[in-house]
Amino acid sequence: MNKKEMEIFAQKIRVATIECIASRGFGHVGGSLSISDLLAVLYGEVMNVSPEKKDDPNRDKLVCSKGHAGPAIYATLALKGFFPYEKLFTLNQPGTTLPSHCDKNKTEGVDMTTGSLGQGTSLAVGLALADKLSNRNAKTYLIVGDGEQDEGQVWEAASFTAAKNITNLIWIIDWNKKQLDGYNKDILDPQNLEEKFKSFGFDAITVNGHNVEEIYNALTNLKKNKPRAIILDTVKGHGLKEVEETFSNHSMTVGKEVWDKWIKILKDELTSMGGAM
Amino acid sequence: MSIIYDGNKDEVQFKSAISETIKNLLDNDKTVVYLDSDLSSCIGCNKLINEYDRAINCGIAEANMAGIAGGLSSGGMKPIIHTFGPFASRRCYDQIFLSGGYAGNSITIIGTDPGVTAAFNGGTHMPFEDTGLYRLIPGAIICDVTDIAMLKCLMTKSINHKGIKYFRVPRKDSYKVYSNDTDFEFGKGKIIKELGTDGLIIASGIMVYEAMKAAEELANKNFKVTVIDPVTIKPLDEELIKQYALKCKKIIVAENHNKIGGLVSAVKELLCGQNVKVSHVAVEDKFGEVGPQNYLQEQFGLTSKEIVSKMISL
Ligand SMILES: Cc1ncc(C[n+]2csc(CCOP(=O)(O)OP(=O)(O)O)c2C)c(N)n1
């Protein structure tokens, strides 16, 4: 995909994410929207993955350790053809295969079960290590929340990644400055994340997480012989001004009119970009 | 005390009662410290964090929070910690066990969203094993909270009680079972319905509501039972349970937890070797899943209907 196509894909992910959550009436809006551009770059261009390749051990994998961003992952997978789009409307319904939090045993295309914050980091290290030990030329992409990095396990996994020089694992931190109760800086100030990763021995960079070109360059230009970490400077709720400006935008419950309005805003934007669902 | 259960929801939700109780405790005792791990807004306690130096958000770091609580206790403070049930048990278990229990420190732990009440957060957030884990900590107190009267009374008492004290509490709907003036004690169960001795239902937490419904349904079939709320699963009111078990002979234990490790196990261990029949209405050896609470209760068989049919076929 070229830049324009990735931007359109990102917008389609936002539409599908909100349609998915709207079908249930509530859900994790903020942290799903903040990774929409990243997912467009990963699934649109960077990752070697497709429904046809799902059983290929040499394909790339994604671990969304902030498992509550499930709707954004499901939106992306539906658009990539892993399952029919209509399935997005079963989110959290009785018997669903699309639960709030990512589950590799339930959903086609989901590579790891997550939801207990912090745990996805070590799981991703293990996945990457398995590829390395099996001489497979595959990469694992790990998405970690900035609130999630409060967990000590994240730093245990980071130490291991650096100490054992796991270079087929790319750490991506969604630095949207917020977690559940509010702003990171008021809850447990993460200080300088880029410096933290560098001090662990990573090649680390901070880029605009809503600029597909910057994300793409970061994913492809970091030193290949070192553990890599990308800090994505993002906005929680990106793409919907009203959500961005809401203080409590982690999990949101709004009425049908509001969901419809938000879907229309996102679809109009998509049309103006020259795209269509 | 009077039993005021009428099947109607309390106008107050558990979360407001939790925050009100924590606030009172902070006001009345300058050594009380409340710690949360980025879920304070889920129990209406975010305001407390701005108002009190002794209300602190630890971030999403439950094991660290539990360890800090142990240290606070050693330093003469009385810590209360909160997070969702799985993170208040599994995620910080060794810290609660060693830095808390073994080190002789005292911590009040609130684990919200027990079992199926985790509903839309799904399997990763749905503890069916927390009671079992806490039962294995020597001397720990475990309360599967039934209603707001019980919550307020026992949380307040827990502050000056030494050791590890675990409360599993839903955040949302509560049904009134006890009048507000009810006094509760650790290790003292309550008879909440006494229609006869054809059978005995021992139920805790949200299963108390199901047990009350089941007792009525059974009475309609001319099967008259007694219902006991153990109040604390540990210590268990062994005397009361044994006394009624021997009178009633047929016993159903009902809990919103795996049948292994929790109230079901505790009662079966107690009655082992007695001339009684015991069965359970609890989660079979399964992981949680996502969905509305009523769907999950059906799915895992945590209903009054299930209590009735198991009692009749015992
Ligand atoms: C171990 C653990 N503790 C607590 C939670 C509850 N929880 C879910 S999301 C969340 C906030 C996450 O913040 P962040 O990682 O910044 O995610 P984002 O803001 O990107 O959605 C919390 C506390 C959890 N899922 N796992």
What value of ipTM does the predicted structure carry? 0.95
Q: Which pLDDT tens digit goes with each residue over A175-197? A: 999 999 999 999 999 999 999 99
Name the 3-class secondary structure at B22: helix
Give the mutation candidate from B19, B34, B38 for the A interface (greatest A CB count, under 10 A).
Answer: B38
Domains held by chain B: number: 2
**Domain ranges, residue B303:** 190-313
Query: B-chain residues within 8 Å CB-CB of A148?
Result: 60
B300 touches chain A (CB under 8 A): no
pLDDT confidence tier of residue B1, bands split at 50, 70 and 90: confident
Q: Kindly report the nearest CA distance between residue B178 and chain A, in angstroms.
A: 32
In this model, does residue B205 exceed pLDDT 90?
yes
Taking the Cβ of residue B45 and every Cβ of chain A, the question of whether any pair is shorter than 8 Å is answered with no
CA of residue A69 to ligand 1 center, whole Å: 10
Q: Do B226 and B137 share a structural domain?
A: no
CATH topology of domain A3-272: Rossmann fold (3.40.50)
The answer to whether position B2 is within a domain reads no
Across the interface, of B64, B87, B122, the residue whose CB is closest to A101 is B122
Structure tokens at B251: 């016993």
pLDDT value of residue B119 = 98
Ligand 1 centre to CA of B279 (Å) is 39
- pLDDT value for A99: 98
Is A214 in CB contact (< 8 Å) with chain B? no
What's the rounded Cα separation, in Å, for the pair B88 and B91?
6
Report helix, strand or coil for A8: helix
- Do the Cβ atoms of B168 and B118 come closer than 8 Å? no
* Whole-Å CA distances, B189 to B65, B117, B120, B224, B244: 31, 23, 32, 20, 11
Q: Do B112 and B240 reside in the same domain of the chain?
A: no
Sheet with A140-145: strands ordered across: A61-64, A140-145, A169-175, A228-233, A203-208
Integer angstrom CA distances of residue B75 from B52, B78, B146, B280: 19, 9, 33, 43
How large is the average pLDDT for residues B69-91? 98
Is B36 in Cβ contact with A181 (below 8 Å)?
A: yes
pLDDT above 70 covers a percentage of chain B that reads: 100
Which of B169, B198, B221 lies at the terminal end of a domain, its last residue? B169
Asked if residues B146 and B208 have their Cβ atoms less than 8 Å apart, the reply is yes
The pair of structure tokens assigned to B78 is 């009385």
In the predicted model, is pLDDT for residue B246 greater than 90?
A: yes
Work out the pLDDT band at B121, boundaries 50, 70, 90.
very high
Q: Which of B116, B137, B169 marks a domain boundary?
A: B169
Q: For residue range A247-269, what is the model confidence (pLDDT) as tens digits?
A: 999 999 999 999 999 999 999 99
Domain locations along chain A: 3-272
Report the sign of the C-alpha dihedral through residues B144, B149, B152, B155, in that order: negative
Low pLDDT (below 70) residues in chain A: none
Last-in-domain residue among B136, B169, B202: B169
Say whether B41 and A101 touch across the interface (CB within 8 A): no
